[in-house]
Amino acid sequence: MWSSDGYTLPHLDVPTAGEIVSGAKLASYLKSALTTLPHNLLLFLQDKLSIDDFTAYGGVYGNKGESVFVNLESALQASTPFVLPALAWTASDSVEEIFQRELGVPALTIAPSELDQLQLNTAQPSLLVIRLPYPTGSQAKEILRKNDETIGDVLTTLNARRVPYTAVYTGLSPSHVTEDTSMAWDSAGRSLLQTPTGSPVKLPVTFNNSEGKPCILLWADELNISNDDGKTFFDLGPLTFSGSVSLDGSFCNETFSKLVLNYENILGFQNLQLNFLMNKTFFPVSARNWSVMQEVQLNYGGQTAIFNASRGIYSPAEYSFHCQNVNSFNSPLLVPRNPPSVWRVFFTDFQ
């Protein structure tokens, strides 16, 4: 998201890496942005788009001459851009519907060639949707270059007419999805992302259902916990993935799962549990089952610290959730239920 020259984005909280938000959360970002930005909004809506496209075709490795996003990069450099988080597939509203609601006007889908004939009233909000294709295979680079030229032509037209604007470039769906090799929930369980070739093998924690099939898998680089407000952290990872941790108390069925990790003599506690509570929910909008982590619990000395997780930790049931940084204190995906709490958690490369 960016704007025409002379406008500045208000301060917006930077989304957590890997964050996927609800429609309401995306609407809150847009509402905040529109407090200072023009209400003539250009929505460049591509069939598919991912950050990987900018890595592959944006000349990010020092070869700027090969970039297919020349006009987009120029517009971003002349503005104060903001990278919006991804919209969850479970969102009941589309991106277009969210923008219509926030602006209070219907969307108008136009071809770039029609822009010259369009009379824009700068005193009234407008939502112009320019649809862009996305091919697969060898044509992707050239089509993305043509899409960038379209963006450049539209911006040039509005600048020439001195029409202030806010622009958003996004996709209807991801163009690159990291999939695992798992099948249906009830047939083969779930699989985690592949360990890079040559890396030391660290097997995930696996809990099997009553039929002996995997139903819960957990993998992380680190599982850090702290009971002194984050001054010092203890990494449970080495104990967890060495096979020495007990899973007593864990269970799973078709709709609910609980992974219980039992530890001894941790941070002065004779017994400590790290629990992950998850359920499987069918969302009619996406017509698929989603695995949603409801909460993470730390049981210690007869007490429990609870962290709500359902707002940010979920994925299609046949795939694994993966985030580089999951914590309870900095743009948290794990929100303490009863703050203030001295307990903090910080998981890295969490799946």
Q: What is the per-residue pLDDT across 39-98, written as a single tens digit (0 to 9) for each? A: 889 999 998 887 778 777 776 544 456 789 999 988 888 887 887 877 776 564 578 888
Q: Would you say residue 125 has pLDDT above 80?
A: yes
Number of domains making up the chain: 2
Q: What CATH code is carried by the domain that includes residue 315?
A: 2.40.160
β-pairing verdict for 166-173 and 2-3: antiparallel
HSE, CB side, 13 Å, CA atoms: give it for residue 113: 0
What does pLDDT average to over the chain? 82
Residue 60 and residue 200 in one domain: no
Q: Would you say residue 194 has pLDDT above 50?
A: no
Domain boundary pick from 108, 140, 173:
173
Residue 92 and residue 14 in one domain: yes
Is residue 179 a part of any domain in this protein? no
pLDDT band at 174 (very low <50, low <70, confident <90, very high): confident
**Region 245-274 average pLDDT:** 94
Residue 195 and residue 153 in one domain: no
Is residue 215 a part of any domain in this protein? yes
Residue 129 and residue 203 in one domain: no
Domain boundary pick from 144, 173, 202:
173
Task: Quote the pLDDT of residue 15.
Answer: 62
Task: Quote the pLDDT of residue 343.
Answer: 94
Beta bridge partners of 87: 21
Domain boundary pick from 119, 138, 173:
173
- Residue 168 phi/psi, 5-degree rounding, is -130, 130
Is residue 178 a part of any domain in this protein? no
Task: Quote the pLDDT of residue 71.
Answer: 92
Residue 142 and residue 202 in one domain: no
Residue 38 and residue 167 in one domain: yes
Residue 156 and residue 192 in one domain: no
Is residue 52 a part of any domain in this protein? yes
Q: Would you say residue 113 has pLDDT above 80?
A: yes
**Region 173-188 average pLDDT:** 49
Residue 159 and residue 258 in one domain: no
Residue 216 and residue 312 in one domain: yes
Residue 249 and residue 345 in one domain: yes
- Taking alpha carbons only, the member of 14, 33, 43 closest to residue 79 is 33
Q: Would you say residue 186 has pLDDT above 50?
A: no
Q: Note down the domain range covering 313.
A: 185-350
pLDDT band at 14 (very low <50, low <70, confident <90, very high): low
Task: Quote the pLDDT of residue 64.
Answer: 57
pLDDT band at 273 (very low <50, low <70, confident <90, very high): very high
Is pTM beyond 0.85 here?
Answer: no
Is residue 180 a part of any domain in this protein? no
Cβ neighbours of residue 168 under 8 Å, at least 6 residues apart?
Answer: 1, 41, 42, 43, 44, 84, 99
Pairwise pLDDT comparison (23 vs 110), residue with the higher score: 110
pLDDT in tens, 302-346: 999 999 987 778 887 877 788 888 999 888 889 998 777 899 999
Residue 249 and residue 287 in one domain: yes
- The token duo for 244 is 């020495």
pLDDT band at 246 (very low <50, low <70, confident <90, very high): very high
The answer to whether the CB of 124 falls within 8 A of the CB of 40 is: no
**Region 229-251 average pLDDT:** 92
Task: Quote the pLDDT of residue 286.
Answer: 55
Pairwise pLDDT comparison (322 vs 257), residue with the higher score: 257
Is residue 195 a part of any domain in this protein? yes
Task: Quote the pLDDT of residue 259.
Answer: 96
The answer to whether the CB of 226 falls within 8 A of the CB of 344 is: yes
**Region 29-40 average pLDDT:** 85
What's CA 205's distance to the chain center, in Å? 24
Rounded to an integer, what distance in angstroms lies between the CA atom of residue 263 and that of residue 274?
8
Task: Quote the pLDDT of residue 66.
Answer: 75
Convert the chain into a string of H (helix), E (strand) and C (coil): CEECCCCCCCCCCCCCCCCEECHHHHHHHHHHHCCCCCCEEEEEEEEECCHHHHHHHCCCCCCHHHCCCHHHHHHHHCCCCCCCCEECCCCCCCHHHHHHHHHCCCEEECCHHHHHHCCCCCCCCEEEEEEECCCCHHHHHHHHHHHHHHHHHHHHHHHHCCCCCEEEEEEEECCCCCCCCCCCHHHHCCCCCCCCCCCCCCCCEEEECCCCCEEEEECCCEEEEECCCCCCCEECHHHHCCCCCECCCCEECCCEEEEEEEEEEECCEEEEEEEEEEEEEEECCCCEEEEEEEEEEEEECCEEEEEECCCCCEEECCCCCCEEEEECCCCCCCEECCCCCCCEEEEEEEC
The share of the chain scoring above pLDDT 70, in percent, equals: 85
Task: Quote the pLDDT of residue 222.
Answer: 94
Residue 167 and residue 215 in one domain: no
Distances from the Cα of 184 to the Cα of 90, 193, 290, 341, angstroms: 19, 16, 12, 39
**Region 95-122 average pLDDT:** 86
